[in-house]
A and B are shown apart, each in its own frame.
Chain A
Amino acid sequence: MDILESGIGELIQPFDMDEFREWNRTQKSRKLVDKRMSQKPLTVSSRMAAILVLNFMEPCVPR
Chain B
Amino acid sequence: MSLAREVIRQGKKDLRVCGQGVLELDLWLAAGLVKKLDITYIGLEVYGIPPSLRRAVESGQVETCVEWSNASITWRMKATAMGVPFLPARSMLGTDMLKHSAAKVVEDPFTGIKVALLPALVLDVALIHVQRADKYGNCQIEGISGFAVEMSRACKRLIISAEEIIPTEEIRKYPDRTIIPYFLVDAVVHAPFGSYPGEMAYMYGRDEKGIKEWVDMSSTEEGAKKYLEKYVHSVPDHAGYLNLIGDKLLKEAVKNRERRE
Which label, helix, strand, loop or mixed, suits the secondary structure of the A interface?
loop
A40–B16 Cα gap in the complex (Å)? 21
On whether A60 and B258 interact (CB within 8 A), knowing A35-B135, A35-B187, A42-B6, the answer reads yes
- Chain A residues lying within 8 Å of B185, measured Cβ to Cβ, are 35
- Chain B residues lying within 8 Å of A21, measured Cβ to Cβ, are 83
- Chain A residues lying within 8 Å of B237, measured Cβ to Cβ, are 38-40
| Interface size, chain A (Cβ < 8 Å) | 54
- Let me know if B30 is at the binding interface, CB within 8 A: no
Q: Is there contact, CB below 8 Å, between B136 and A42?
A: no
On whether A54 and B130 interact (CB within 8 A), knowing A39-B2, A60-B258, the answer reads yes
User: How many contacts between A and B, using CB within 8 angstroms?
Assistant: 237
Q: Is there contact, CB below 8 Å, between B136 and A53?
A: no
- Chain A residues lying within 8 Å of B255, measured Cβ to Cβ, are none
Stretch of B7-15, B50-58, B212-220 at the chain-chain interface: B7-15
A17–B79 Cα gap in the complex (Å)? 10
Write out, one digit per residue, whether chain B residues 108-126 have a CB within 8 A of any chain A CB (1) or not (0).
Answer: 0100001000011111111
- Let me know if B165 is at the binding interface, CB within 8 A: yes
- Let me know if B200 is at the binding interface, CB within 8 A: yes
- Chain A residues lying within 8 Å of B165, measured Cβ to Cβ, are 36
Those of A38-60 within 8 Å (CB) of chain B: 38-58, 60
- Chain B residues lying within 8 Å of A41, measured Cβ to Cβ, are 187
Minimum CB–CB distance from B143 to chain A (whole Å) comes to: 5
Q: Output the residue of B184, B185, B199, B259 with the most chain A CB within 10 A.
A: B199
Nearest-CB residue, chain B, relative to A10: B64
A35–B187 Cα gap in the complex (Å)? 5
Q: Is there contact, CB below 8 Å, between B258 and A7?
A: no
Identify B106's interface contact among A4, A23, A53, CB under 8 A: A4
On whether A47 and B107 interact (CB within 8 A), knowing A10-B64, A30-B183, the answer reads no
On whether A48 and B16 interact (CB within 8 A), knowing A5-B98, A55-B201, the answer reads yes
- Chain B residues lying within 8 Å of A48, measured Cβ to Cβ, are 15-18, 123-125
- Chain A residues lying within 8 Å of B17, measured Cβ to Cβ, are 48-51
- Chain B residues lying within 8 Å of A45, measured Cβ to Cβ, are 124-125
A55–B253 Cα gap in the complex (Å)? 14
